[in-house]
Amino acid sequence: MIDKILKYQDLDRQIRALEKESSNMEEKQIMNKMIAYVKDAQNKSAQLESQAKQLVDDYQKVKSEYDLALKNIQNLVDSKTQNDRTVNLINTYSSDLYMLERKLNIIVNKSQEILKQFSVAKNNVLKAKQKHKECKEKYDSKINAINPKIEKLRQEQKKLEPEIDEKALAKYKNVLNDNIFPVFVPVAGNLCGGCRMEIPMGKMDKLKNDGFIVCEQCGRFIYNK
């Protein structure tokens, strides 16, 4: 009985190694990085978009102030009345125009900067998506090689199952489900081969008689070699 279940356990060992290989694959990690990168870039783009919207609003506001000052100057020039008051007004409006023009320039420069950042972000997203695609292809082909191996080992386990005591197998699966592996460990002197706990004398006798005992500390099955 112990031979069969140890064989069964060895198949699990091979399955677990293959599953670990799948989840530790470098491509998988790069794919996750690329996904996170694209998400970040999308957030950044959304921020840039709202900044751009604000700049358009600012531009329109400043532009209408600019147009108004220009119109006021035009009216004063058209009225052809030249006195100190109109000259002063024209000077005031002219310096307003100068200030507003500077503001408009600043807004235009900021817009260009945002456009530049936007295009960099867009390019990087394209690159990240391309890299993700390449990695996924590699990952899929590796997974497609691993999965049939796992399936084959599972088939072997299925074939073995009828030859193993039903209760022992159920207990084995219970311990395995708690992510304890290996489940069956050989006795190491008078220690549990899994957690190294010392086995009491009485239990050592039971081990000699029954061929195996359950470890009180880790729940593993300890067997006699």
Site residues (vs Zn ion, CB under 5 A)? 192, 194-195, 197, 215, 217-218, 220
Residue 9 Cα distances to 19, 118, 162, 164, angstroms: 15, 55, 15, 12
Instruction: Please say which residue, 6 or 143, places its beta carbon nearer to Zn ion.
Output: 6
For the bound state, the minimum distance from the C-beta of residue 22 to Zn ion, rounded and expressed in Å, comes to 29
Q: Nearest Cα to 150, choosing from 11, 8, 1? A: 11
For the bound state, the minimum distance from the C-beta of residue 219 to Zn ion, rounded and expressed in Å, comes to 7
Instruction: Please say which residue, 150 or 215, places its beta carbon nearer to Zn ion.
Output: 215
For the bound state, the minimum distance from the C-beta of residue 202 to Zn ion, rounded and expressed in Å, comes to 16
For 151-202, the DSSP string reads HHHHHHHHHHGGGS-HHHHHHHHHHHHTT---SEEE-BTTB-TTT-PBPPHH
Instruction: Please say which residue, 73 or 185, places its beta carbon nearer to Zn ion.
Output: 185
| 221 in Cβ contact with 195 (< 8 Å) | no
Task: Please tell me the distance from the alpha carbon of residue 102 to that of residue 106, in angstroms, as a whole number.
Answer: 6
- Helix 84-160 to helix 2-23 angle (10° resolution) is 160
Task: Please tell me the distance from the alpha carbon of residue 81 to that of residue 29, in angstroms, as a whole number.
Answer: 77
Instruction: Please say which residue, 5 or 125, places its beta carbon nearer to Zn ion.
Output: 5
For the bound state, the minimum distance from the C-beta of residue 194 to Zn ion, rounded and expressed in Å, comes to 4
Strand pairing report for 184-186 and 212-214: unpaired
Task: Please tell me the distance from the alpha carbon of residue 179 to that of residue 176, in angstroms, as a whole number.
Answer: 5
> Which alpha helices (DSSP H) does 161-186 contain, by range?
166-177
Instruction: Please say which residue, 97 or 195, places its beta carbon nearer to Zn ion.
Output: 195
For the bound state, the minimum distance from the C-beta of residue 193 to Zn ion, rounded and expressed in Å, comes to 8
Instruction: Please say which residue, 151 or 216, places its beta carbon nearer to Zn ion.
Output: 216
For the bound state, the minimum distance from the C-beta of residue 168 to Zn ion, rounded and expressed in Å, comes to 17
For the bound state, the minimum distance from the C-beta of residue 217 to Zn ion, rounded and expressed in Å, comes to 5
Instruction: Please say which residue, 97 or 197, places its beta carbon nearer to Zn ion.
Output: 197
Q: Is the omega angle on the peptide bond into residue 200 within 30 degrees of 0, that is, cis?
A: no
| 121 in Cβ contact with 38 (< 8 Å) | no
